[in-house]
Structure 1
Amino acid sequence: MTATVPHQALGDTALSLPLLSMGSWHIYDRMDFGLAVRMIRQAIDAGINMFDVGVYGTPDTQPPPLTDILFSAIVRAAGVQRNDYLLSEKLWLEGFDPDKGFRPQLENALFRVGSDHADLVVLGDLRRDDLQLRDLVLSLAELKKAGLIRAWGVNNWSATNIAALIDIARAESVDAPAMAQLKYSVSRRSIPDGAPFAKLFAQGFKMQGSDVMEGGVLVKPTPPEREVGRDPGNIREKIIASVPALAKIAADFGATPAQLCIAFTLTHKHNINTLFGATKLTQLEQAIAAIELVERIGAETIRAAVEPLWADRDVVNPEGP
C-alpha cells in the first residue's frame, strides 16, 4: 500500500505525527496473531506509524492484560524496527509515586512492550486530589532528561488544569504538555469545540481525537459486549438512538459510518491526530479512506451535516472534567 497518510509537526517537540494512529485497548488480545501482523504492516506502509499502547490493568486483573505484550511480538513479526514507528504510552496518576515519580511505572510499561523509550506519554484522567501538578511536570522532565520520553500530553483533563501545567513548565523551564487526548466525535463535541480549549489551541496546543466511534456504538447495530469508555453526561442512550441518522448521512456521502466518524474528527483545525482501533483490515482501510472523504466532501459540509447528532451540547461543561 502506498503511503497516503500525511504527517504534521507536534509543536516544538521534534515529533511528526501521522494524521491517524492506532490504539491497543481491547484490540490485539481479540485478534488472530497473523491478521494483527498483516494489519500493522499495512498500517506502517500507508504512513500510519504511531501506536497508542498502554498497560490496561493491574496484576490482579482477570484475565490479565496482555495487549501491550502482544504488540511487542506483532511488530517484530511484521519486520518493523523501533525507529520505524512512534510509541505512545499511557501513564496512570493512580500509580504516581511521590518519591519515585512516574519512572517505575514507565519502565515496567517499556519492559512489557519491548522498547527502551516512548516517543510520547499521555497522563491518564486526573482523579486524585492529593497530587501537586508541579511534581508531575518535574517527574516528566526527568524522564525526558533520561531519554525515556520525547514529549508528553494528557488524557481528558480540564482546560484550567492544562493551562496550569503549561504555566508550571514555563516557570521551571521544562517541557509543557503538547497535546490533550480528548473524546471527540459527531456525538461528543462540547469540550474540544468549546471556548476554554479554543484559548489553549490559540497558543499552539493540540488535540488528539479519541473515542471517535463511542467504543463502536456509533457503527454497530448493537452495543459492544466489551468495556467501552466513560459516558460523561449520561448520553449514551441518546447516542445509540442517533445511529440510524448517522448511517443515512454516511450513505448520502457514499461512505460508511466509520469513515464519517473519523472524517468528522479530521475537520477540527487543531486535531493533529485521530486515534482509532481496528481488528479487521477493512476497518484500517476505512480509516484511511476517511482522509479522502474530507477532501471529496469538504470539512464544512461534513460538520453541517452531522450537527443534529451533537448529543452533549449544553450537557457537558466545555471546560472539561
Structure 2
Amino acid sequence: MASGTRKVFTRPLGGDGFQVPALTVGSWYTWDRTPFEQTVDVIRTAVDAGAAFFDVGVYRADPRDVGSHTDVIFGRAVQAAGVARDDYVLQVKSWVERSGGAEDIVAQFDRAVFRIGTDHAEIVVFGDLVGEHVPYEVIAEGAAALVESGRVRHWAVNNWSVAEIRAVAAAAERTGLVPPAFAQLKYNVVRRSIAEGEPFRGVVADLGLKVQASDALEGGFLLGHPRRRPTGNDPGGIHGLLEEARPRLRALAEELGGTLAQLALAYVLTNDDLCSIVVGARTTEQITDDLGAFDLLARVGADRLRELLAPYWLDKGRVDPESSWSSVPDDDPVKYALILPDA
C-alpha cells in the first residue's frame, strides 16, 4: 500500500500535544500465530496506511509455561519491514504483580523493551489488577520513574474499574505525575456498558482520560470465526445474543457497502473519547479489511452509524458500568476463565 493512500486519522493523547493513530495493531499472541513474512507485510501495510502504532507485551497463558515469543517476533518483523524506531508508536504492557516495589515495575518494563529490541516505549500500559495487587502508590511511583527517566512518555491502565482508575490517579497526583492517558477496555459495537457508561464518562471529564478499545471483534467471535487460541471471557454472557444478531449486523454492513469487521470498528471510531482501537490482524487481508472501517465511517458518518447500531448494545443491563474484569470476586470461577479454542 503506497504512502499516498494513508487513511488512518490521529487522536490526541495526554495534554502535551501528542497524537496517536486511531488504529493500533497487536494485542495478545498476535505475532506468533502467522508466518514471519506475513507479519512483516501486515506491519508494512499498517504503517503505510498511517497506523504506525503497535501494542506488544510479554505473554504467558499459563504461569507454568515459558511464555510466548510474540514480542520478540514483532521486534524482528518491524526491522524487516524497514520501519525505523522513530517512525512508530510503541505501547508495552506491564503486569502489576502481587509483590514488589516500583523498582520491579521498572525492571519488568526494561525486560519487555529489551525483548523487542529497543530501550523505550511511548506508552506503558499497566495490566489487570488481580487479587491483592501492589498498592496504587507503588504503581504510581513506578510510572513516575519510567516517565522521569525518559523510558516512556505516557502511562495507561488495562481493564481497571472506575474506582481503581480514580485511586491510582490520586496516587499519581501525590507524586506529581499526570493521570493515566487512557484506559484500555473491552469495548465494541455490542459491548458498550463500561466504555459508554456514565461512571466512565465522569472519569473522562475529570481526568481527561481517553479510552482504547480492545477485543473490538470479540477475538473474532463477533465475525463468526472459529476460536483458535484462548481468548477473553464473556462478561454479561452476551455471546448467545451475538449469535442471533450477527446475520442482521452482516446484512447492515453489506447494505452500507462494507464488511462486518468494518462496520464494527467504524462504530467504535464514532466515540470522541476514543484514542484508538487495538486489532489483532495477522494477515494482509485482515489488516486491509480493518483499514476499510475508516472509509466506511467517512462515507456514512458518525451520527448515522450510531443511529443504525443503537439496537445492538447487547450488554446493556447485563454488565455493571462501574466494574472491570478485575472486580470479579476472586472465588468466582469466571474470573480466570478463558474461552478455549474450538476443536
Question: Into which bin does the TM-score normalised by the smaller protein fall?
Answer: over 0.9
- Which of residues 140, 143, 147 in structure 2 aligns to 1:137? 140
Q: 1:262 aligns with which of 259, 262, 265?
A: 265
Gap regions ≥5 residues in structure 2: 325-343
The equivalent of 1:219 in structure 2 is 223
The answer to which of 291-300 and 88-97 deviates more is 88-97
TM-score by length of 1: 0.94
Q: Does 1:112 align with 2:115?
A: yes
Q: Which runs of 5+ in 1 are unaligned?
A: none
For residues 101 and 131 of structure 1, what CA distance do their matches in structure 2 show? 11
CA deviation map 1:44-85 (0-9, x unaligned): 111111100001117965474011000011011111111111
Three-state SS of the structure 2 residue aligned to 1:121 is strand
Q: Could you tell me which residue of structure 2 aligns to residue 273 of structure 1?
A: 276
Match of 1:91 among 91, 94, 100: 94
Q: Distance in 2 between matches of 1:130 and 1:77?
A: 38
Structure 1 residues 13 and 182: alpha-carbon distance in aligned structure 2, compared to 1, 3 A threshold: farther
Native 8 Å contact 1:233 1:316 kept in 2: yes
What is the aligned length? Answer: 320
* One-letter amino acid of the structure 2 residue matched with residue 216 of structure 1: G
SS of equivalent to 1:30:
coil
Q: Relative to structure 1, is the Cα distance of residues 110 and 59 closer, same or farther in structure 2, using a 3 angstrom cutoff?
A: farther
Aligned mates of 2:289, 2:61 — CA distance in 1: 33
Q: 1:8 aligns with which of 11, 25, 28?
A: 11
**Structure 2 Cα separation of the partners of residues 110 and 100 of structure 1:** 16
Q: CA deviation digits over 1:91-150, x for unaligned, max 9?
A: 111365236330121111111111101110111111133421111101110111122211
> Does residue 1:206 correspond to 2:210, yes or no?
yes
Using the TM superposition, name which of 203-212 and 91-100 deviates more.
Answer: 91-100
In the TM superposition, 1:11-30 aligns within 5 A as 11-30=14-33
Deviations along 1:236-288, whole A, 9 cap, x unmatched?
23223322121111111111000011101001110011111111212212222
Q: Does 1:316 align with 2:323?
A: no
Q: Is the 8 A contact 1:93 1:128 kept in 2?
A: no
Tell me the alpha carbon deviations over residues 127-181 of structure 1, each in whole angstroms, 9 at most, x when there is no partner.
1334211111011101111222111100111112112222222232113211000
Distance 2:196 2:273 in 1: 10
Secondary structure class of the residue paired with 2:122: strand
Letter in 2 for 1:6: F
Moved more, 201-210 or 56-65: 56-65
- 1:1-321, aligned counterparts within 5 Å? 1=2, 2=4, 3-57=6-60, 62=65, 64-94=67-97, 97-98=100-101, 100-203=103-206, 204-220=208-224, 222-321=225-324
Query: 1:224 deviation in Å?
Result: 1.2
Letter of the 1:209 partner, please give it: A
How far apart, in 1, do the equivalents of 2:75 and 2:304 lie? Answer: 41
Q: Distance in 1 between matches of 2:229 and 2:280?
A: 13
Tell me, in whole angstroms, the C-alpha distance in 2 between the residues paired with 1:88 and 1:177: 13
Partner of 2:341: none
Q: Is the 8 A contact 2:59 2:67 kept in 1?
A: no
TM-score, scaled to structure 2: 0.88
Instruction: Measure the CA separation in 2 of the matches of 1:127 and 1:60.
Output: 14
Give 1:287's aligned amino acid: D
Segments ≥4 residues shifted beyond 3 Å = 58-64
**What SS is found at the alignment partner of 2:32?**
helix
Give the Cα separation in 1 of the matches to 2:86 and 2:258. 34
Tell me, in whole angstroms, the C-alpha distance in 2 between the residues paired with 1:176 and 1:37: 35
Calculate percent identity across the aligned residue pairs.
38
SS at match of 2:54: strand
Structure 1 range deviating more: 158-167 or 178-187 = 158-167
Maintained 8 Å contact 1:187/1:310: yes
* Distance of aligned partners of 1:14 and 1:237 in 2 relative to their CA distance in 1, 3 Å threshold: same
